[in-house]
Structure 1
């Protein structure tokens, strides 16, 4: 296309054309005002989703589960010890129960099951009151996260940065030498090293086969990659994903001949198009048309399957498991409740002895 401008064979070049001086292209053509900005990103094979049965443990992280388990194991003995000194002086139904019963009592509270035997002593009442508040908050937090992990597919973390991509030794594919030249001039040292692993492949079907075999990653503009993800999805589920870290941002424009008399009017028209938000709307319409065509050619089962629009971050990384940092407030609150209960418990001892 740049050569056609230089020879005067073309007036306009419309496409995913980056405003750049790489390859000396600005010596043979000019650009109109930019109509958008594109991030150059990397696309790799989508990893295997986490088995659904593991979703039951995903709402909490390992340290949170350990903390909850320790609390559950300690509650029974603490409850049992607080009820022992009250055998005389005040009738406490829980006095005569075994350790097994008290453990089941606290386990029932963890399931939010109302207990018929209510503590009488003030220290035990404070302990049970804070126990219920703790249990309600923890269970509600678990239930809310569980709905998300049960209904949305979760992909384990994989390659997400340029450094990780370089360390993986995967090849990098693209449809033009422009991306290799961009990598060679990058400030990121790992991006520059990726230039040695770059291969130009014009046929995306060949690149797609290599990507799905786990041999490489594909490099292109983000919108182009999103389009390819939608085009090569299966039953509405993308088979590829984008890395979180992109390479660089470039302005996109319409190409014209050097010193073209059309440039002034074209700049004004392109600015109108950009200000009206039409490039974004046209991308959405393109994906909608693509889905309609794929549904029309698919089988009846495939037509009924939902086909969400792929996004650069389509793995559900925002569904973060609760850590101790998230729930530290409830543990601190319950620690305060246990301390208050112990103070009252100590103050009650002289009454009965």
Structure 2
């Protein structure tokens, strides 16, 4: 009889273990890029199913390569009034940076003549108050900290357009750009670099999430990336060592594909991950292959968005590439210590 009682108890315990719900993450970030305002974005309901605490636009919120600010404003307004997006934005905190097509110039940098006016329209789209520092500073870089119990996440949004010096065209191969030998070339500009150093140096956050818009680690494809300015890559990695900021993760977009890259950097106690998510309304459906030394998750060329699920108790971040109907394309879990 005791044997059967023990067996019954074991069965009950097994059933209890299998039916126990997994505890939700402490903080969830959703992000994406490449959203053409004239195309339907069917992903908002799927993104919402993940119950994100924050949505981060990774750039190319609209497509408006132009010097006509009235035209740019109309396109922002069209996106802002999109019913699906408007309803989503009412429920989720929205942060953003820009990339070239919402900045106003394809592959554009500091040479864009309308950058000051474009900046104000970008901030209008986000309903940034008139007394916010971004209204008077040059560039749209910004940060925000989220506190969860006694833990925190800092989100740092870089401006890779306003101060960026000219890229070097590739005249040898079929690639668009090649790495520059100009040591004075800059991705962020002196003022933003100082700001970024201070943001990392003073951060007490458990995780520091940096939105870059363009890729940091993947650089062999020859399109826009930090790799076009090797001096700036070295400078950024040096900043991680110097500041010893906790668990920096880079988010990026731009490429119309999604992938996850990872690099071990001597001098910091965690691997640097660059999670690319692109695009929301259109993607590189003809993608076959391209080199990326640091790729750890296969490329997704379907329309998709990125999810980061941060669990403080487990010291881990689950990174997911998801698409229509919230389908899970790829997943990667990184442990932090």
Q: Rg bigger for which structure?
A: 1
Higher relative contact order (CA 8 A, sep 6+): 1
Report the TM-score when normalising by structure 2: 0.26
Larger proportion of strand = 2
Larger proportion of helix = 1
Report the TM-score when normalising by structure 1: 0.25
